[in-house]
Structure 1
Amino acid sequence: MAVGKEILDTLHALVDRDITLMHICGTHEAAIARAGIRSILPPGLKIVMGPGCPVCITPQGEIDAALELVNRGCTVATYGDLLRVPGSSGSLESSGGDVRVVQGVHRAVEIARREPEREVVFISVGFETTAPTVAAMILSHPPENFSILSCHRLVPPAMAWLLDQGEAALDGFILPGHVCTVMGYQEYEQFPVPQVVAGFEPEDILLGLLMAVRQVREGRHEVENAYPRAVTREGNVKAKRLMYEVFEPVDLEWRGFPVIPASGLRLRPEFEGYDAQKKFDIEIRHVEKHSACICDRVLRGIARPADCKLFGKACNPRTPVGPCMVSHEGACRIWHLYESRRG
């Protein structure tokens, strides 16, 4: 931790005004909270969380679509984090249908092969980290009784929206290490703000913060890589090729955001046979928010979980009101586990 102490001392010496940096990664939020990093930073340095949890940014309309698939008798395979996200009429967990937790798309395909009499739909959520795996599976020609509900999102369009809105008065970004491992960081060079790719150990995060603060102080705006052991500028070229061979960008709504242009992924026309939305004629509708939950504001970096009057009371991991309290990458669940214990 000697290296971490040296970085921290340098940060305290450099930060002489308010600086706000946003990360877009649930794993970063968990690492920051677990290590208590916010409590040791200079008072002027603020880290806010953005839309970095793929389950959290899945809008209610897509949860309702998954519930409709259950009601039509499909076997729905999903990651465990999605089970308890509330829809308009309950959750997948409370649906009473054939909902199975799987560790990945390959397990969903195994179910389809093992039970050919059933229609198996995989709820395919995630950023650019999970989409290439799903694409590879689609290219392997899974059985006809298998399909996906594509809920994939792309990070750069959401960043563009955040910068255009200017709600959080951001000075820079800590870029998501997992996403950049796949995609590289070349596409982030379009944004005229300080950006640093960071890893997930406390020292990785502190180094990323230091590099970003130096850019802010020096008036620079570029993409720097504090995670070279895993990330290159080009990323995983083969994974990217697979992803865009199977998927194409589409305008899509995010929870807490409007429809963001080219921010989602849908199957290309030649793979429509595996598109559950078209196969079962499912319409994904916009659903207006009616609860006091402020997940939408947390996901945009303009509120903290503790700012919500439901946090830790009506909304807790046992009885979640919003998705940010459900997922292990959700800010509210992370804060409930770590930050609230620090008082």
Structure 2
Amino acid sequence: MKYIEEFRDPALAKTLARAIAAEVAPGRSYRFMEFCGGHTHAIARYGVEDLLPPAVEMIHGPGCPVCVLPVGRVDVAVALATQHDVILCTYADLMRVPGSKFDSLMKAKARGADIRMIYSVMDALRIAEENPGRQVVFFAIGFETTTPPTALALKQATAKGLRNFSVHCNHVLTPAAMRAILGDGEKVPLDGFVGPAHVSTVIGTQPYEEFTRDYAKPVVIAGFEPLDVMQAVLQLVRQVNDGRAEVENEYSRAVTPEGNTRAIALMDEVFDLRDSFEWRGLGEVPHSALKIADAYADFDAEKRFSVKTEPARENKACECGAILRGEKTPEDCGIFGDPCTPENPLGACMVSSEGACAAHWTYGRFREKKAVPA
């Protein structure tokens, strides 16, 4: 299949591995963060780290939308479903994310709440049309990739006059998270970023220029195939060696400098910027998330149901926050693999396939380090 098979070619992978090793300067180390969970998934699935020289270290970033949603927001989803007699619609990955007191949407559904897993926000619109006597809430999460469909759904709900449809907006912004990681004295030393793929098809390459200009960190936007990632690493190594900090676009088959201008215009129309938003692992990050604009306030579930997000504590044993910041790896967590597994997730990073813990565990590369109880 074009643009798939050639980016998984073993011979080309070996050639790229040799090229990276040849470019590594003697006595120098390189620390690159792959921001997006899709890249973390690809690295674990195809064993990319095993092909890189020891001097090149990949740091997992916070780019998993399910993982970065804080506990308090998970509690809000459960409360909406159990206390307001609504049909709550959301993406499947969110169902098993633990809230406070280890509750989750999946457990609430088992107790009788009407919670429905959907593939698209358009499914939620259809459910609202089919159930005119029930309030239907779409619990929206995700980065810029999934934001335009939510905006379109709000416009369609307005056009159709669907008074029983609303959205609880939890859409967050990639550049703000990258800025938070690099701020405060850069607690996690980084030499550059592997920039996200799907997000960049929407926002383009231009928003990353601030990181090259203000922080002197190179950014190479990469696709999700293993050779995409390896080519991006090669480009980052070369930039570091040359003392350059530029935005480079390895994923030119899908990403343009200006991005998807129609999608951006749609988001600008339907959403406003929040002053601040809490991220799991990053805390309160200013101007890092979106809220529904006043023109569409009638469809804002936060206002319709007067729900507020209360502070909630993480599972003390879970290191998901530190993993999302790049300060720790999944193997550093005391419950990784025992008892926390994808079948029994005790933290958000083990739920989504894009979560670092799930990616590490699913492909078996770290299972020998933990004994799984029978």
Deviations 1:264-320 (A, max 9, x none): 010001111111111000001221334210000110111111110100002111221
Tell me what 2:89 maps to. Answer: 77
Tell me what 2:55 maps to. Answer: 44
Partner residue of 2:74 out of 63, 73, 89: 63
Deviations 1:238-270 (A, max 9, x none): 001001110111110101111111100100011
1:291 is paired with a residue whose SS is coil
Tell me what 2:333 maps to. Answer: 308
Deviations 1:132-154 (A, max 9, x none): 11101111225111111111110
Is the counterpart of residue 196 in structure 1 residue 220 in structure 2?
yes
Tell me what 2:106 maps to. Answer: 93
Tell me what 2:147 maps to. Answer: 131
2-side partners of 1:292 and 1:341: how far apart? 19
Q: List 4+ stretches of structure 1 deviating above 6 A.
A: none
Deviations 1:17-72 (A, max 9, x none): 11100011111111111110001111010001111100000001111111111122
Tell me what 1:163 maps to. Answer: 182
Is the counterpart of residue 317 in structure 1 residue 337 in structure 2?
no
Deviation at 1:87, TM superposition (A): 1.1
2-side partners of 1:325 and 1:203: how far apart? 25
Aligned AA (1:68) = A
Tell me what 1:187 maps to. Answer: 207
Equivalent residues of 2:100, 2:313 under 8 A apart: no
1-side partners of 2:175 and 2:237: how far apart? 21
Counterparts of 1:17-36 in structure 2, within 5 Å, are: 17-36=28-47
Equivalent residues of 2:21, 2:52 under 8 A apart: yes
1-side partners of 2:125 and 2:137: how far apart? 9
Equivalent residues of 2:342, 2:362 under 8 A apart: no
- The alignment's C-alpha RMSD in Å is 1.2
Paired positions, count = 343
Identity of aligned residues (%): 44
Is the counterpart of residue 12 in structure 1 residue 37 in structure 2?
no
Aligned AA (2:21) = H
Q: TM-score, normalization: structure 1?
A: 0.98
Aligned AA (1:149) = H
Aligned AA (1:160) = R
Change (3 A) 1:262 1:237: same
2-side partners of 1:6 and 1:315: how far apart? 37
Tell me what 2:310 maps to. Answer: 285
1-side partners of 2:368 and 2:345: how far apart? 21
Tell me what 1:252 maps to. Answer: 277
2-side partners of 1:335 and 1:3: how far apart? 24
Tell me what 2:3 maps to. Answer: none
Give ranges in structure 1 of 5+ residues lacking alignment. none
Q: TM-score, normalization: structure 2?
A: 0.90
Is the counterpart of residue 112 in structure 1 residue 139 in structure 2?
no
